[in-house]
Chain A
Amino acid sequence: MGIIRTEDIVFEYIRRDEEGNVEGITKAVDNVSIDIKQGQFIAILGHNGSGKSTLAKHMNAILNPTEGTVWVDGMDTNDGEQLWNIRQTAGMVFQNPDNQIIGQVVEEDVGFGPENMGIPTKEIWQRVEESLRAVGMYEFRKASPNKLSGGQKQRVSIAGVLAMHPKCIVLDEPTAMLDPNGRREVIRALRGLNQVEGVTVILITHYMEEIIHADKVFVMDQGKIAMDGTPREIFSQVEKLKSLRLDVPQVTLLAYELQKEGIPLPNGILTIEELVEALEKRTVGNRVIVG
C-alpha cells in the first residue's frame, strides 16, 4: 500500500440557510480513489473550486471523508487514536507564509514542531539544522522571519514541517504569493527534498511550469479526478486542459501553436531544450540553419 491511499472518498459540504435548514449538499470531493507511492512527486491541478484543497486536507486528517476511507502510511484517518501519528507522517504547507510562521527567530520557528512532539532538546537542534540545510536556509537560522522574502519564509515553513520528519509533505499553492525568484527557490527545495531525502511531495499549484518534473499529475474537476498521467501525457491535451480552466507551460503552448501551423513536432513538449532540439532536427533537414 502507498503512503497515501484513498478509496471511493466523498466529502460533502452541507449548505444551510439562515434558520439552519439544509438548503443543499455540495460534493466537494466525489468518489476519489488514488494511491500515492512513497517517494513520488505528485502534482494536483484543478480550477478554483474543483476540490483539490479539500482533497489535500484529507491527507493529514484535517478533514475526514463523509464516505470512503483514507489511509496515511496504512493508518485510517478516521481512527482518532492515530491522529498525531498521521499528522507527523504527512505535513502540510499552505499558501501564505505569514500565517504559518510563529517564531521570533528562524531556528526557533523550525524547532516548534519537534518540541511539541517531545523530542529531546539535543535532537531538536539536530533536526532544525538538517531541515534548514535541506531547504537552503541554514545561513538565516538566526534571522527574524519578518526580515525574509516570501520565498525564504515559505522555505522556513517547509523546514518547520521537515523537522517533524514526515514521510510526506502536502503543499497547497505554496508559490501563489511569491515572486519569480521565490517560486524557483521553493520548487528547487521541493525537488531536492524529494530526490535527496526521498520525501513524498504532493504539490497543488496553478503554475503549470512548476510540475513538469512530477512523476504523476492528477487533474481535478467537480470533485472528481478528471485526468491522471505523467506531465507529458497531461500537457499533450491542450484543448482538454483549457476546457478545465487550466493551461500548459508557455513552451508547450508554443509547440502546440506551431503544430497547428503545420510544423511537425512531437506532442507534449515540456522544456525549452526539447523544443530547441525538435526544431533543430527539423531545420537541419530543411537546411534553414546556416550556422
Chain B
Amino acid sequence: MSMIIDHVSYIYGEGTPLARKALSDININIPDGQFVGIIGHTGSGKSTLMQHLNGLLKATEGHIYFNGEDIYDADYDMKKLRGKVGLVFQYPEHQLFEIDVFSDVCFGPKNLGLEKKEVELRAYDALRKVGLPEELYYQSPFELSGGQKRRVAIAGVLAMKPEMLILDEPTAGLDPKGRDEILGQIKKLQAQTGMTILLVSHSMEDVAEYVDRIIVMNQGTVMMDDTPREVFRHYRELEEVGLAAPQVTYIMHALKEKGLDVDVDVTTIEEAAAELVRVLK
C-alpha cells in the first residue's frame, strides 16, 4: 500500500503558445506511514506535484499508482481517491465558511454521503486530533485566532479519514509557538495513526525537526531524495537552488573549520547541543 509516482511529467497549457513544462520525469515511491518533507524554491514544481497526488491535475505523461491501482485508469474512482488523499492548501482558513466550527468540519464527510451520526463522530474525532479546545466547537470559525482557524481547516480534511495527508505550507504566517503546535500535533497524529504525511515547507528548520525524508524539487525535477542529515549535508548545492540548511548546520560547519571535532551532519538544536556538550565537556 503506497503512492508510486512513475515517470510523471506535466506541461501547463499544452498545445498552446504558452505551454510550459512544470514537471519532468518525476519518480517517487512513498511507502505507508512516512513523514516526508518537500522543499524547493517558489516555482520549483512542489505545489504542481502535490496537486497530481489527489488528481486535481492529470499528468501529461507517466502514471501514478495509489495502493497498487493506476489512478488514470478509465474506471478508477477519482472521488474515492480524493477521500483517501487529503490536500490542505496554503492559507486553508480562507476556505472556512460555515456558521460554526463543528458544521465546517462536518462539511467534508457529509459530502461523502455518510449518515449523520458517522459524520458527527468523525468531526469530533478530527477536532480532537488537531487539539482544538472543545469550548470553541460551536463558535464562528471567523472569531478564532490564525492558528486555531488553520487547525479547523486541517480537521475538515482529517474528517474525511484520509490515508495520506498533504499539507502545503501549513505554518505560513503563524507565530513561532503556533508553528510548533501545528507541526507537533501533525507529528503526533502520524505516530498514532500511521498516516502518511507530505509536508511542503519553506522552513528548513521545521523540515529538519519533523520529517523522516526530504524531497528537494528544482526546476520541475527531483534534485535530492534522502534523509534530512544527507540532504542538509549538501547545503552548498541547496543554496545554489535558492534554499538553505537550518542555521544549526552552518554553526556546526563554522565550528569544524575552527578545528573543533564536531559531527557537522546534525540537523536540530537538540542534536547540536548534545554533540557540543560531548565535545566540550
Which positions in A face B, CB cutoff 8 Å?
Answer: 46-50, 95, 149-151, 173, 176-184, 206, 208-209, 242, 245-247, 249-251, 253-254, 257-258, 261-263, 272-273, 275-276, 279-280, 282-283, 286, 288-291
Contact = CB atoms under 8 A, between A and B. Distances in A.
A183 B246 CA distance: 14
Contact of A250 (B169, B178, B251): B251
B184 interface: no
B279 interface: yes
B174 A48 contact: yes
19 contacts: A48-B175, A177-B173, A180-B244, A181-B244, A206-B174, A245-B175, A250-B205, A258-B273, A258-B276, A261-B277, A261-B281, A262-B281, A263-B280, A276-B254, A279-B258, A279-B280, A288-B260, A289-B258, A289-B260
Contacts of B64: none
Interface of B: 40-43, 90, 145-147, 169, 172-179, 202, 204-205, 242-244, 246-248, 250-251, 254-255, 258-261, 269-270, 272-273, 276-277, 279-281
Contacts of A279: 255, 258, 260, 276, 280
Nearest 7 CB-CB pairings of A with B:
A291-B259, A245-B177, A181-B242, A247-B176, A250-B247, A47-B175, A48-B146
Nearest to A182: B42
A200 to B, nearest CB: 24
Contacts of A242: 177
Nearest to A208: B176
A182 B242 contact: yes
Given A262-B281, A279-B280, 14 more contacts: A46-B175, A48-B145, A48-B174, A48-B175, A95-B173, A178-B42, A251-B251, A254-B251, A254-B269, A258-B277, A261-B273, A272-B247, A275-B251, A280-B258
Nearest to A260: B273
A28 to B, nearest CB: 13
Given A250-B269, A283-B280, A176 B242 contact: no
A47 B177 contact: yes
Contacts of B247: 209, 249-251, 272
Nearest to B171: A206
Contacts of B242: 149, 179-182
